[in-house]
Chains A and B, each alone.
Chain A
Amino acid sequence: MDVNYLIKQLLNGLAAGSIYALVAVGYNMVYGILELINFAHGDIYMFGTFIALALLERHLPAPVAIPLACLAGGLTGMLVERVAYRPVRNAPRVVPMLSAVGAALVLRNLAQLIWGTETMPFPQLFPTRMIQVGEVQFNSLQVIILALALSLTGLFALIVRRTKLGKATRCVAQDIPAARLMGIEVNRIIQFVYFAGGFFGVAGGVLFAMYYAVWIGMGFLGTMKAWIACIIGGIGSLQGAFVGGLILGVTEALISGFVSSAYRDAICYGLVMLVLVFRPMGIFGRQVAEKV
Chain B
Amino acid sequence: MMGRTTLWQFSRRFGLYVLGAALLLALPKMMPNEYVFRVVIAVIIDIPLALAQNLITGFTGMLTLGQAAFYGIGAYTSALLVLRAGLPWPVAFLAAGLVACLFGILLGFPCLRVGSDYLTLMTIGFGEIFHIVALNWMDLTRGPMGIPGVPPPQIGPIVFDTSFRMYYLYLAITLVCYLSMHRLTKSHVGRALIAIREDETAAATMGINVAYYKVLAFAFGTLWAGFSGSMLAHFLAFVGPMTFTLNESLFHMQMAILGGLGSLPGSVLGAAILVSLPQVFQPLYRYRMLLNGALMVMLMAWRPQGIMGTSAAARATRLDLRWVRDLVRGKKAKGAEAPQCLEAEGLPGRESE
A residues sitting closer than 8 Å to B (CB atoms) are: 35, 37, 83-84, 87-91, 93-99, 101-110, 112-113, 177, 180, 183, 185-188, 220, 224, 227, 231, 262-263, 265-266, 269-270, 272-273, 276-277, 280, 290, 292
Tell which of A113, A183, A188, A231 touches B290, judged by Cβ atoms closer than 8 Å: A113
Chain B interface size, under 10 / 10 to 19 / 20 to 34 / 35 or more? 35 or more
How far apart are the CA atoms of A239 and B35 in the complex, in Å? 56
Which positions 278-330 of chain B face chain A at CB distance < 8 Å?
286-287, 289-290, 292-301, 304
A272 contacts which chain B residues (CB < 8 A)?
121, 125
A to B CB contacts below 8 Å, 11 in the list: A88-B301, A88-B304, A94-B57, A97-B117, A102-B292, A102-B294, A106-B294, A177-B341, A270-B125, A273-B126, A277-B110
Q: Is the CB of B110 within 8 A of A263?
A: no
How far apart are the CA atoms of A46 and B261 in the complex, in Å? 32
How far apart are the CA atoms of A97 and B304 in the complex, in Å? 12
Q: Is the CB of A263 within 8 A of B132?
A: yes
How far apart are the CA atoms of A270 and B292 in the complex, in Å? 30
Q: Is the CB of A105 within 8 A of B296?
A: yes
Q: Is the CB of B116 within 8 A of A93?
A: yes
Tell which of A37, A95, A187, A276 touches B300, judged by Cβ atoms closer than 8 Å: A95
Q: Is the CB of B297 within 8 A of A99?
A: yes
| Chain A: CB-nearest residue to B61 | A94
> Given A227-B121, A272-B125, does the pair A187, B351 have CB atoms closer than 8 Å?
yes
| Chain B: CB-nearest residue to A274 | B110
- The majority secondary structure among interface residues of chain A is helix
Q: Is the CB of B292 within 8 A of A105?
A: yes
Known: A109-B287, A270-B129. 4 other contacts (CB 8 A): A87-B300, A113-B286, A187-B351, A276-B114
Q: Is the CB of A266 within 8 A of B338?
A: no
A113 contacts which chain B residues (CB < 8 A)?
286-287, 290
| Chain B: CB-nearest residue to A288 | B115
Verify if B124 is at the interface (C-beta below 8 Å from A).
yes
- How many Å from the CB of A56 to the closest CB on chain B? 26
B286 contacts which chain A residues (CB < 8 A)?
113
Q: Is the CB of B290 within 8 A of A105?
A: yes
Verify if B113 is at the interface (C-beta below 8 Å from A).
yes
Q: Is the CB of B300 within 8 A of A89?
A: no
Q: Is the CB of A91 within 8 A of B126?
A: no
Tell which of B63, B118, B297 touches A276, judged by Cβ atoms closer than 8 Å: B118
- How many Å from the CB of A283 to the closest CB on chain B? 15
How far apart are the CA atoms of A112 and B286 in the complex, in Å? 10
Q: Is the CB of B118 within 8 A of A265?
A: no
Most A Cβ at <10 Å: residue of B113, B124, B293, B296 = B293
| Chain A: CB-nearest residue to B121 | A227
Q: Is the CB of B132 within 8 A of A265?
A: yes
Verify if B128 is at the interface (C-beta below 8 Å from A).
yes
How far apart are the CA atoms of A155 and B115 in the complex, in Å? 32
Q: Which 6 A-B pairs have the closest CB atoms?
A: A105-B293, A102-B296, A90-B338, A269-B125, A106-B293, A102-B297
How far apart are the CA atoms of A99 and B295 in the complex, in Å? 9
Tell which of B293, B296, B350 touches A109, judged by Cβ atoms closer than 8 Å: B293
> Given A105-B250, A187-B353, does the pair A37, B339 have CB atoms closer than 8 Å?
no
- How many Å from the CB of B60 to the closest CB on chain A? 12
Q: Is the CB of A231 within 8 A of B116?
A: no
> Given A91-B304, A113-B287, A280-B115, does the pair A186, B297 have CB atoms closer than 8 Å?
no
| Chain B: CB-nearest residue to A90 | B338
- How many Å from the CB of A220 to the closest CB on chain B? 8
A101 contacts which chain B residues (CB < 8 A)?
250, 253, 293, 296
B201 contacts which chain A residues (CB < 8 A)?
290, 292
How far apart are the CA atoms of A91 and B339 in the complex, in Å? 9
B57 contacts which chain A residues (CB < 8 A)?
94
- How many Å from the CB of A96 to the closest CB on chain B? 7
> Given A180-B353, A269-B128, does the pair A95, B304 have CB atoms closer than 8 Å?
yes
B250 contacts which chain A residues (CB < 8 A)?
101, 105
How far apart are the CA atoms of A103 and B289 in the complex, in Å? 11
A99 contacts which chain B residues (CB < 8 A)?
296-297, 300-301
Verify if B180 is at the interface (C-beta below 8 Å from A).
no
How far apart are the CA atoms of A154 and B338 in the complex, in Å? 37
B132 contacts which chain A residues (CB < 8 A)?
262-263, 265-266
B353 contacts which chain A residues (CB < 8 A)?
180, 186-187
A188 contacts which chain B residues (CB < 8 A)?
351
How far apart are the CA atoms of A89 and B339 in the complex, in Å? 11
| Chain B: CB-nearest residue to A36 | B117
Q: Is the CB of A263 within 8 A of B136?
A: yes
> Given A91-B338, A263-B133, A277-B113, does the pair A84, B125 have CB atoms closer than 8 Å?
no
How far apart are the CA atoms of A128 and B201 in the complex, in Å? 57
Tell which of B121, B261, B290 touches A110, judged by Cβ atoms closer than 8 Å: B290
Which positions 125-144 of chain B face chain A at CB distance < 8 Å?
125-126, 128-129, 132-133, 136
How far apart are the CA atoms of A93 and B124 in the complex, in Å? 17
How far apart are the CA atoms of A39 and B353 in the complex, in Å? 25
Most B Cβ at <10 Å: residue of A37, A95, A101 = A101
How far apart are the CA atoms of A89 and B115 in the complex, in Å? 19
How far apart are the CA atoms of A227 and B121 in the complex, in Å? 8
> Given A113-B290, A263-B133, does the pair A280, B118 have CB atoms closer than 8 Å?
yes
| Chain B: CB-nearest residue to A272 | B125
Which positions 69-124 of chain B face chain A at CB distance < 8 Å?
110, 113-118, 120-122, 124
> Given A110-B290, A280-B114, does the pair A266, B133 have CB atoms closer than 8 Å?
yes
How far apart are the CA atoms of A109 and B287 in the complex, in Å? 8
A98 contacts which chain B residues (CB < 8 A)?
253, 257, 296, 299-300
Q: Is the CB of B120 within 8 A of A37?
A: yes
Give per-residue flags for B204-246: 1 if the beta carbon is below 8 A from chain A beta carbons, else 0.
Answer: 0000000000000000000000000000000000000000001
